Structure 1
């Protein structure tokens, strides 16, 4: 039996490879969640699916870290990636809940040419969400 055959059948090595695959999936889902969360509105909803998949793969990775002798940094990185997926998913879901206001904001910012126009878009968006605009937002500066 060659050394390659014994290495490929080593159960400990299989566990580490399984953990590596789960960690790569978590990292990929985090990246896809971020990238899809900055898209315009109909496509922004895809980030929710990526965020959910990232959380599922994160749980899988955390379970797999319990079966191998892994440093604490792997557990911390997995938890941080899961938190990132949750955060980007939360932001995207909030924008989806306020679909009309977000759609108007995206249209406004895409046609804005000046800083004043961008401030006006942000001020209008904040008011539509029921918040109060920052003092001086949307007003001209000397």
Structure 2
């Protein structure tokens, strides 16, 4: 005998077949890209004070770091590995982009950069350093 009421059973939502859970191998692969990106970023930052023509090395490292970092962010987003890691990698990407842009600018101004670096190498005193900065760094004169 039924009393006219229907019993509804609650079912758990089916796993999203469009976005299956990432496997351990996929997570490991994404993390390897993050580690490689951070290594390239730190190598770029540590070598950014080299003089020309060696300044091309951190420029190449910075470009490689940007490419690997973008791939890492995409992999992290696709693998849904939480919000913290993509945010940290994105902030690191901004730092790397600004450093790489500065290095590219110094490379584009090759002659001026060489002249400034030569002046700084020959400056033996703080007055010599200040003279080089006053002559070759126009933003120093704004003070």
User: TM-score, structure 1 length as denominator?
Assistant: 0.78
Does residue 69 in structure 1 map to residue 80 in structure 2?
Answer: yes
Larger Rg: 2
Equivalent residues in 2 for 1:1-80, closer than 5 Å:
12-80=23-91
State the match for 1:133 in structure 2.
141
Match of 2:137, SS state, is: helix
Task: Give the length in aligned residue pairs.
Answer: 122
Gaps of 5+ in 2: 1-21
Cα distance in 2 for partners of 1:31, 1:132 equals 28
Cα offset, 1:80, TM superposition: 1.4
Structure 1 distance, partners of 2:30, 2:134, is: 46
Contact 1:123 1:134 in 2 (8 A): no
How much does 1:47 deviate? 1.9
2:80 is paired with a residue whose SS is: coil
Bigger drift between 111-120 and 59-68 goes to 59-68
For the residues of structure 1 that align with 2:39 and 2:140, how far apart are their CA atoms? Answer: 37
Paired residue for 1:89, among 100, 122, 125? 100
Contact between 2:133 and 2:140, CA under 8 Å: does it hold in 1? no
Query: What is the TM-score of this pair, normalised by structure 2?
Result: 0.77
Where does structure 1 differ by over 4 angstroms across 4 or more consecutive aligned residues? none
1:115 and 2:126 matched:
yes
Gaps of 5+ in 1: 1-10, 136-142
- Determine the C-alpha separation between the residues in 2 that align with 1:133 and 1:100: 21
Structure with greater helix share of residues? 1
Please state how far the C-alpha of 1:101 moved relative to its aligned partner.
1.4
